[in-house]
Amino acid sequence: MRRVSAAATWWRLRGLDGLELMRAHFVRHAFSRHGHETFAIGVVQSGAEDIWFRDGTERVGPGGLVFIHPEEIHTGTAPDRGGWHYRVLYPAAEVMAGLAGTRGTPRFRERVVYAADLADRFVEAHAATETEDALTAETLTRLALATLLRGYGAARAPRSARSPKGPHTTRAREILHTRMADPPGLDELAAEVGVGPFTLLRSFRDAYGLPPHALLIQLRVLAARRLLERRVPPSGVATAVGFFDQAHLTRHFRRAVGVPPGAYQRAVGAQDRTSRPTH
């Protein structure tokens, strides 16, 4: 069963390692700076979206295919009052590696491409996950992803995706993950990893594209998703991951995921269906 929140609909397949999908029409919604554990591959069907990346902003119009790699920091907002309508799917790195026949995470040479035939194929596969049986939906989706990889896959990661992570930045992230409900202050965090606070801020942003407090929010949202999938009530999730209250959780969750926690949890609760949604 599909669950709708405002102009966004989110669902998950049983196959393709629990592939997540979304279609949405956003007008005033603005995504916060965030990254995904998975790839985010989408096509804008109407309107336009401005996507900020660390090295520049891309404006994507109708028919534009967008490739965002795992953990790549970005935002999304409408450049005008019309907003944008798009379809997105979030394949895991392992799924993409299997389709590409590589051991490591595959890469795309470009972030945005315009290829009408591939965009149409992507939309057909995406729509099939709402209307067709599991065999048809998963077959079309696999074929569409494989075609995109063949056409635009790259052998090496782009420079922007290869930011070095020093031991103190890695350790700082681990501390934030472990103590997300009661995190240390910046001075304390820097002291724990053996550097000064300004050094930590600079190197943390270089490594992850976000300052520590913003990455902490992202870690909390990721943890909230896992708890929601385990049927923990949103009010309990908020305090468990360190948000002040449910409203605080909802604000940050929607800005990162596109739907509020309740809609996400209801959609997860319906994932034991087949790929064909019930009405």
Query: Which CATH number do you get for residue 15?
Result: 2.60.120.280
Q: Is the pLDDT of residue 1 over 60?
A: no
- List, for residues 250-267, the tens digit of each pLDDT value: 999 999 998 899 989 888
| pLDDT category of residue 275 using cuts at 50, 70 and 90 | very low
User: How wide is the angle at C-alpha 141 spanned by C-alphas 63 and 99, nearest 5°?
Assistant: 110
| pLDDT category of residue 157 using cuts at 50, 70 and 90 | very low
Summarize the confidence of residues 71-79 as an average pLDDT.
95
* Domain co-membership, 151 together with 25: yes
**83-87, 88-92, 137-141, 205-209, range with the lowest pLDDT:** 205-209
| pLDDT category of residue 222 using cuts at 50, 70 and 90 | very high
Q: Hey, which residues does 74 pair with through a beta bridge?
A: 34, 53
| pLDDT category of residue 162 using cuts at 50, 70 and 90 | very low
Are the beta carbons of 38 and 93 closer than 8 angstroms?
yes
* Domain co-membership, 85 together with 152: yes
Summarize the confidence of residues 220-233 as an average pLDDT.
93
- List, for residues 86-126, the tens digit of each pLDDT value: 999 999 999 999 999 888 899 999 999 999 999 999 999 99
* Domain co-membership, 133 together with 41: yes
* Domain co-membership, 103 together with 222: no
**Looking at 125, 160, 195, which one is the last position of a domain?**
160
Are the beta carbons of 24 and 149 closer than 8 angstroms?
no
Assigned domain for 98 exists: yes
Domain count of the fold of the chain: 2
Tell how strand 64-68 and strand 40-47 pair up.
antiparallel
Summarize the confidence of residues 65-82 as an average pLDDT.
94
| pLDDT category of residue 271 using cuts at 50, 70 and 90 | low
Q: What pLDDT does 253 receive?
A: 94
* Domain co-membership, 63 together with 176: no
Assigned domain for 59 exists: yes
Query: Residue 58 sits in which domain range?
Result: 3-160
| pLDDT category of residue 270 using cuts at 50, 70 and 90 | low
Q: What pLDDT does 103 receive?
A: 83
Q: What pLDDT does 119 receive?
A: 96
* Domain co-membership, 60 together with 145: yes
Look over the chain and give the mean of its residue pLDDT values, rounded to a whole number: 87
